[in-house]
Amino acid sequence: MAKHSLNGREGTDLAGSRNLGRYDLNKQVEVQRTLRRHETELQQNVHKLELKEEIPPLDRQTFANSYHTSPEDLSNVALEGPDGRSRSKVARAVLSLFAIVGFELGSPWMAAVHGQTSATPEWNTASFNPARDAWQRNETKINPENAKNLQLLWKAKLEVKTMGMQSFREPLIVSSGGKTLTILAGSSNEIYALDADSGAVVWKKKLAWASEKPEEPGEGSSYICTNALSATPVVTPSGAGERFVYVIASDGYLHTLALGSGEEKDAPLQVLPEPHGKPYGLNLVNNVIYTITGRACGGNPNALYAVNLANKKVTVSQPPQAGLWGVAGATIGADGTIYFESGDGVYDAKSGRLSTSVEAFTFSNDTLTLKDYYTPSNYEWLTKRDLDMDATAVIFPYKSQELMVASGKEGRFVLIDTKSMGGVDHMTPVSRTPLITNTSANLQTEGTWGSHASWLDADGTRWVLAPTGSPVAVKFPITNGKAPNGGVIAMKLEDKGGKLALAPVWQSRNMITAEPPVIANGVVYVLAAGEFTGQANETEGGLFNSEQRIQRSVPAKLFLLDARTGKELYSSGDQVASFLHQAGLSVAGGRVIFGTFDGTIYCYGLK
């Protein structure tokens, strides 16, 4: 029986999974239908469980009667949560039923907090789920003990026209028609579906140009605006009926492809006002796709975009902001609030121009409304030094709170309560760390870029991880050698008398341009991308162009680390031939998949 992982109990067989053999297919279908009828109640119960609130007790017989099962089927329900507290019987029964049928509700809330819980582990959106925590809860094959045995299972060279430094975006790993597919979006609007077991091409699609405006030749004006497809696609969650791959191509249109065949199912829908914009990771919640745009590429306003799939309406936040360029796009909270970080630019809170800030929006009746925001008290200095808040924030629950961690080039991490992001003055978060990296205020290569990661261990400890681009400036209890180029850092949430703060725990080995990490089953996966990230050419003057940065980049390396200590468990050595730019990796079903600039897709796993 495969082991399951939910809410931090990694490597623990959730009670009820041992009873799976009792159920024939008809019984499983019956229970699934029952779960669907009671989806709202189940969501509320699991929500309370995740926030560790007390849930009114309900005896097994009453619950069994309500859900058309028997008390015996609930007899092995896990008695404790990851924090060691006794679970209420309702919560235990809910977990048991999830374990019995391997059922994926496919609901937005479940996706936002837990990610996928289908029988086949998936990775259907950037950073695993709408909360952008990069925590693959369903991995059971690779663990700290066997990670050293990781091997290259296959590699495939795909045709892709690179644009600037971009090639493929973060892969997606999903199930379709009895196969596990990896979906890859290329920089010139090439979409591939590969068999995740072999690397064979199942289907490929070159998206036709949909805009009435002509496609520009070439690769844009710089390494920033390259005319490329820049947003990681999203796939409809499992359990939601017919599934689609949603892609915003470089024409600025949303393309809807059938997951199993790549056939374009709907007419392309214009999302961006102009072609050649720079949107980031698509986030799908409540049948609405969200994305953010940065750099004003193609003349598109930097804004939050909401695409209502039910009525095909596109809503754009107002007023335009400074650059929004967290690679994983916007983050979605448990109540559907949309969050993003903004770069440096004009700051005028009265008019809604909130540069160098974290912003929160609600979406209702095809209207985006500013709900709250947090602005660092030193925002003027950060703006002057071009130390943007440039990453995708991560959200996680803690007791009765929903917390967020945000950061950027400055090298400092901010802990935010989403109910009151910055207090009355919008500048007072729960806590801020001291300057952890980037003591030189380097706007090019240091600080944190991309996105974060977070997980809850079996002891109830909440961890937050992030990539860095320079040595650390504070003491970490565990170090793994000198890291002049940075790597990954891990912090834990500490609660001292109700005062919450992030405390350093470990620093990884040295890595050249660490991509955002992924956590799965006690293992941290991270790519040292090898990308040369310098911008200013101090020898010749001006800025480096894409070609010069490509020439100065080195091959990427895959590392597996112990999630508690940062100790290196595995390195791919010199197996990877090229670098990558803001692409990242995905983990599901014992597979670790990523692509590199030269068009090669790599899949690692255990044989």
CATH classification of the domain holding 549:
2.140.10.10
- Give the residue-averaged pLDDT of 397-403: 96
Q: Identify whether 106 is part of a domain.
A: no
Q: Can you give the pLDDT at residue 58?
A: 36
Summarize the confidence of residues 274-286 as an average pLDDT. Answer: 97
**Is 231 within the bounds of a domain?**
yes
For residue 230, the model assigns a pLDDT of 97
Query: Is the CB of residue 470 less than 8 Å from the CB of residue 442?
Result: yes
Token pair for residue 554? 């080195």
Whether 114 shows a pLDDT value over 50: the answer reads: no
Ranking 198-212, 398-412, 539-553 by mean pLDDT, the lowest is 539-553
Q: What is the pLDDT of residues 509-563, one digit of tens each?
A: 999 999 999 999 999 999 999 999 988 888 888 888 899 999 999 999 999 999 9
What residues pair up with 77 in beta bridges, in sequence order? none
User: How remote is the C-alpha of 480 from its chain's centroid?
Assistant: 26
| Residues 322, 236: Cα–Cα separation, whole Å | 30
Question: How many distinct structural domains can be found in the chain?
Answer: 1
pLDDT of residue 119: 67
Q: What is the pLDDT of residue 426?
A: 98
Residue 193's pLDDT is 98
For 11-25, 261-275, 350-364, 551-565, which range has the lowest pLDDT when averaged over its residues? 11-25
What is the rounded average pLDDT of the residues 417-431? Answer: 98
Tally helices (H) and strands (E) across the chain.
Answer: 7, 37
Would you say 468 and 446 are in contact if contact means Cβ atoms under 8 Å apart?
yes
Q: What residues does 293 pair with on adjacent strands? A: 279
Residue with the two structure tokens 């936002």: 112
Under the banding of pLDDT at 50, 70 and 90, the label for residue 120 is confident
Classify burial at 567, counting beta carbons within 10 Å of its beta carbon; exposed 0-12, middle 13-18, buried 19 or more: middle
With respect to residue 177, please indicate whether it lies within any of the assigned structural domains.
yes
Region 414-422: mean pLDDT is 98
394-398/401-406 β-pairing:
antiparallel
What pLDDT is stored for residue 542 in this prediction?
84
Structure confidence at residue 5 as a pLDDT band (50, 70, 90): very low
The pLDDT tens digits for 440-480 are 888 888 889 999 999 999 999 999 999 999 999 999 999 99
Cα separation, 235 vs 124, in Å, equals 5
Angle (CA) 356-358-364 rounded to 5° is 135
CA angle 397, 398, 399 (to 5 degrees): 120
The answer to whether 517 and 524 are in contact (CB under 8 A) is yes
127 closest CA partner among 403, 387, 495, 467: 467
Asked whether 191 and 184 are in contact (CB, 8 A), the reply is: yes
**Following CA atoms 174, 179, 185, 188 in sequence, which dihedral angle do they give, to the nearest 10 degrees?**
-160
Summarize pLDDT for 11-65 with one digit per residue, the tens: 322 222 223 232 233 333 344 444 444 443 444 444 444 443 333 333 333 333 3
Cβ–Cβ under 8 Å, residues 291 and 305: yes
Q: Is 429 among the domain residues?
A: yes
pLDDT digits (tens, 9 = 90+) for 306-323: 999 999 999 999 999 999
Higher pLDDT, residue 102 or 134: 134
116 or 519, higher pLDDT: 519
In a domain, 30, yes or no: no
Q: In Å, what is the CA distance from 543 to each residue of 132, 222, 223, 440, 537?
A: 32, 9, 10, 20, 5
Percent over 90 (pLDDT), the chain: 74
pTM of the model: 0.83
Chain CA centroid to CA 568, Å: 23
Listed in order, strand segments (DSSP E) in 338-487 are 338-341, 347-348, 353-354, 358-364, 367-374, 391-392, 394-398, 401-406, 414-417, 431-432, 450-451, 453-456, 462-467, 478-479
Task: Measure the CA–CA gap between 137 and 57, rounded to whole angstroms.
Answer: 27
Domain residue limits at 328: 135-605
Task: Please check whether residue 422 is in contact with residue 359, taking contact to mean a CB–CB distance below 8 angstroms.
Answer: no
**20 within domain boundaries:** no
Of the given ranges (35-44, 207-216, 330-339), which has the lowest mean pLDDT?
A: 35-44
Say which DSSP state 71 is in: G
Coil vs helix vs strand at 109 = helix
Mean pLDDT of 137-149: 97
For residue 47, being part of any structural domain is answered with no
Give the pLDDT of residue 223. Answer: 78
| 206: in domain | yes
Extract the tokens encoding 26. Answer: 């008809």
